[in-house]
Amino acid sequence: MHSRIEFPYSFGTRFSVSVDTEEEFEWSGTLSRTGHGTSSVPAIGEGQRFFESAGVTPLYYVDQPVIDSDEAVDLFRRFIADGTADFGVHLHPWVTPPFEEVVSRPNSYAGNLPESVERAKLRHVRDSMVARLGVRPLAYRAGRYGIGRNSLRILAEEGFVCDSSVRSLFDYRSDGGPDYRWSDQHPWRTGPDNRIVELPLTSLFVGRANWCGRQLYGRIGQLPTLKSILARLGLVERVPLTPEGIPADKACQAIDAALDQGIRLLSMSFHSPSLAIGNTPYVRDGKDLRTFYAWFDKVFDHCARRGILPASLGEILSASGVKV
The CATH number of the domain holding residue 252 is 3.20.20.370
**Do 118 and 149 fall within a single domain?**
yes
Q: Please tell me the predicted confidence (pLDDT) of residue 29.
A: 85
CA distance 287 to 273: 16
Answer yes or no: is 281 within a domain. yes
pLDDT tens per residue, the chain (324 residues)? Answer: 689 999 999 999 999 999 999 999 988 889 999 999 999 999 999 999 999 999 999 999 999 999 999 999 999 999 999 999 999 999 999 999 999 999 999 999 999 999 999 999 999 999 999 999 999 999 999 999 999 999 999 999 999 999 999 999 999 999 999 999 999 999 999 999 999 999 999 999 998 877 777 877 877 766 777 778 787 877 889 999 999 999 999 999 999 999 999 999 999 999 999 999 999 999 999 999 999 999 999 999 999 999 999 999 999 999 999 987
Instruction: Please check whether residues 193 and 215 belong to one and the same domain.
Output: no
Helix (H) or strand (E) holding 239: strand 237-240
Task: Write down the pLDDT at residue 210.
Answer: 78
Considering the domain architecture, whether residues 229 and 160 belong to the same structural domain is answered as: no
- Residue 302 inside a domain? The answer is yes
In a shared domain, residues 167 and 252: yes
Evaluate whether residue 301 is within a structural domain.
yes
pLDDT of residue 169: 95
Same domain, 114 and 224: no
Q: Is 2 within the bounds of a domain?
A: no
**67 and 216: one domain?**
no
Length in residues, the chain: 324
- 172 occurs within a structural domain: yes
- Closest by Cα among 296, 210, 288, 302 to 255: 302
Contact between residue 9 and residue 319 where contact means Cβ atoms under 8 Å apart: no
| Residue 267 forms part of a structural domain | yes
pLDDT at 208: 83
Residue 224's domain comprises 204-240
Residues 56 and 118 in one domain: yes
Q: Quick one: 83 and 151 in the same domain?
A: yes
pLDDT of 47: 99
User: Could you tell me if 103 and 166 lie in one domain?
Assistant: yes
Please check whether residues 220 and 117 belong to one and the same domain: no
Question: What whole-number distance in Å separates Cα of residue 89 and Cα of residue 99?
Answer: 18
Is residue 3, in this structure, part of any structural domain at all?
no
Domain closes at, from 224, 240, 256: 240
Same structural domain, 222 and 310: no
In a domain, residue 1? The reply is no
3-state secondary structure of 140: strand
* 90 & 211 share domain: no
pTM: 0.96
Alpha carbons 320 and 324: distance in angstroms, whole number = 11
Omega of the bond leading into 98 within 30 degrees of 0 (cis): yes
